[in-house]
Structure 1
Amino acid sequence: MPLMRELGRTGRMAGAVGMGCWAIGGHFTLHGLNDGWGDVDDAQSVRAIHTGLDLGATLFDTADAYGTGHSEDILGIALRQRRHEVVIATKFGFTYDRSTRALGDIDVSPAYIETANARSLERLGIDCIDLYQIHPGELTDDQADAAAEALEGLVERGRIAAWGWSTDNAEAARRMLVYPHFAAIQQELNVLHDGPDMLALCAETGLASLNRSPLAMGLLSGKFSVKTQFKTDDVRGAGHAWVRHFHNGRPAPEVLARLSDLRDLLTSNGRTPAQGALAWLLARSPHTFPIPGFKTEAQVRDNLGALDKGPLPAAIMADIDRVLSRPLAAAE
């Protein structure tokens, strides 16, 4: 049976490796730059989701921002006959124009939350969202509290079951613990980018840690080289300042060198590089839920193969720590 974990303070169990649905949203822009992952085939996306279900995925994470609603549309279609098997997580907080597929300003006001929630429920074709997450990572205390109170109201009305926040700010997340249905955070976490403060908070309080960018935007799949070049229609080549490890659409050579040092450790016991990277996350904390992205059935099979092999053993984790403790070589 695939590895299952308790999903934070939701009271639900979920497959320890979930599926991130950013890429299947297709094209959209943020600040005028492409924020999608290139062309997408909707029929293939549905097949990939069904493959994931058959392989033990039960946690699906999306956002109304992804394709300005298109990811939610496709996820709703794919899960319609199997709603009872899954935990559906989505996010809100970026305004958007569906006609131009462009994201706009941040809005986490109670009035906007009411509207965004209704739209997500309709696109997903469900009556209640299992985990509804604040998408913008930094808010003022007043913004956060007003949003939290609105989210608690949605729980009382049966429109969401629990809520969370996609943030790397552990102290800001700690403030939300006074709200009874705050159940999970979503943090950037992978072999190349640890998040010990947030993981310590999860260990202390029982929050779930959903891990965005668990494969470092694909780098940890082991498929890229110094010759790889992403076009501007892909978020990795679009020119966003916040995209790590890619410069002008190319993987940073010093990061590729670090991955080369890690490869044998990550691929121990017959794992693929992606499975090793996900196994590192599973071993990093009992509260983690990596949510790797996908566009094809083959990617889903590779990612979810990590469920069968389980977390990396302690000895391998210690060896990885030793490699990571070495200074990262400067780029040439």
Structure 2
Amino acid sequence: MLRRLGRSGIEVSALGFGCWAIGGPTWRGETPVGWGEVDDNESIRAIQRAMDLGINFFDTADAYGAGHSERILGQALAGRREPAVIATKFGNGYNESTRQLGGSFASPDYIRQACEASLRRLITDHIDLYQFHLGGFPAEEAGPVVQTLEELVQAGKIRAYGWSTDDPARARVFAQGPHCTAVQLQENVLDDNPEMVALCNELDLAGVNRGPLAMGLLTGKYTGSTSLGGDDVRGTRAPDWMKYFKNGKPNPEFSAKLDAIRAILTSGGRTLAQGALAWLWARSPM
């Protein structure tokens, strides 16, 4: 199943492959912002298997694993770049050797340097969708960011761009740019985002959904007896913004919501994840 990536006309698989977890352990001070240890070879096999099954959209960020996620994705897509649609992000500072994140950056020079670094790690000459990763950046200061992204389009470094934000006002500012084609938003059956969905429909923007399965809660894999590790962003030292998990376990608030609709999502022989994804695809063509 293919969908149009907003105004760009690029065709992408309705189901994408999120590459945050494959970055491995990452930290902001003492707080984990990665998903713990992963096997790089397993990550590469998973990406290649996804391609074999018809998935062509891969979403990563330079901050995922402090560059490591982009490197793994680039290795996995070696020799298969043309059918793939690569989305990555910029704006968060990081130290590749320590896996520490720190600082937020949005100057034109920084954006150009970040783009070149991502191109090298991804082993490609262009990025299909380049996304601003600072969701809370002031909308009134976003003009130079859009201008720089337009210059990168003209230079052939990127094909289109978007903003990872759940604020309609910020998305509207970016959407004024001719090559803005997407907004990355949080949306799932437990956590609807009607304003952003409506905005995507109104402005012909693709809604790149960063939380379709509520960070794993909608897989059914995690229960009250779950205990996620201290190096997992969902674990016992989770950042304050983490809402689907608390203290390394599913958040009781969202677990109760899931229990209330579990029978509906799994009706007709569907798995929980299949039901959750079906709801999203029926929610909007964007």
**What range describes the TM-score normalised by the shorter chain of this pair?**
over 0.9
- In structure 2, distance between residues paired with 1:47 and 1:223: 22
The answer to which structure has the higher helix fraction is 1
Query: Which residue of structure 1 aligns with residue 282 of structure 2?
Result: 283
Could you list the per-position Cα deviations for residues 293-319 of structure 1 after superposition, in whole angstroms to 9, with x for gaps in the alignment?
Answer: xxxxxxxxxxxxxxxxxxxxxxxxxxx
Aligned residues, how many? 285
Q: Which amino acid aligns with 1:267?
A: T
Structure 2 residue corresponding to 1:158, chosen from 145, 153, 156: 156
User: Offset at 1:196?
Assistant: 0.8
Q: Which amino acid aligns with 2:255?
A: L
User: Offset at 1:227?
Assistant: 1.0
User: Offset at 1:81?
Assistant: 1.1
Could you list the per-position Cα deviations for residues 144-181 of structure 1 after superposition, in whole angstroms to 9, with x for gaps in the alignment?
Answer: 11111100000010000000000000111112222100
- In structure 2, distance between residues paired with 1:52 and 1:222: 21
Q: Which amino acid aligns with 2:253?
A: E
Which runs of 5 or more structure 2 residues have no equivalent in the other structure?
none
- In structure 1, distance between residues paired with 2:19 and 2:141: 27
Mean alpha-carbon deviation: is it higher for 204-213 or for 222-231? 222-231
Could you list the per-position Cα deviations for residues 92-126 of structure 1 after superposition, in whole angstroms to 9, with x for gaps in the alignment?
Answer: 00011111111110001101001100000000000
User: Offset at 1:274?
Assistant: 1.0
Query: Which residue of structure 1 aligns with residue 253 of structure 2?
Result: 254
**1:82 is paired with a residue of what secondary structure?**
coil
Query: Which residue of structure 2 aligns with residue 120 of structure 1?
Result: 118
Q: Which amino acid aligns with 1:250?
A: K
Paired residues for 1:1-332 under 5 Å: 3-237=1-235, 238-287=237-286
**1:198 is paired with a residue of what secondary structure?**
helix
- In structure 1, distance between residues paired with 2:120 and 2:275: 37
- In structure 2, distance between residues paired with 1:144 and 1:214: 27
Could you list the per-position Cα deviations for residues 176-206 of structure 1 after superposition, in whole angstroms to 9, with x for gaps in the alignment?
Answer: 2221001100001111111111111111111
**2:224 is paired with a residue of what secondary structure?**
coil
User: Offset at 1:142?
Assistant: 4.3
Contact 2:232 2:238 in 1 (8 A): no
**1:280 is paired with a residue of what secondary structure?**
helix
Moved over 4 A (4+): none
Q: Which amino acid aligns with 2:281?
A: L
TM-score between the two structures when normalised by the length of structure 1: 0.84
How much is the aligned-residue C-alpha RMSD, in angstroms?
1.1
- In structure 1, distance between residues paired with 2:175 and 2:155: 20
User: Offset at 1:143?
Assistant: 3.0
User: Offset at 1:231?
Assistant: 1.6
- In structure 1, distance between residues paired with 2:13 and 2:77: 16
Contact 2:22 2:69 in 1 (8 A): yes
TM-score between the two structures when normalised by the length of structure 2: 0.97
**1:85 is paired with a residue of what secondary structure?**
coil
Q: Which amino acid aligns with 2:7?
A: R
Query: Which residue of structure 2 aligns with residue 322 of structure 1?
Result: none
- In structure 1, distance between residues paired with 2:179 and 2:60: 20
Q: Which amino acid aligns with 1:9?
A: R
| Identity across matched positions, percent | 53
**1:218 is paired with a residue of what secondary structure?**
helix
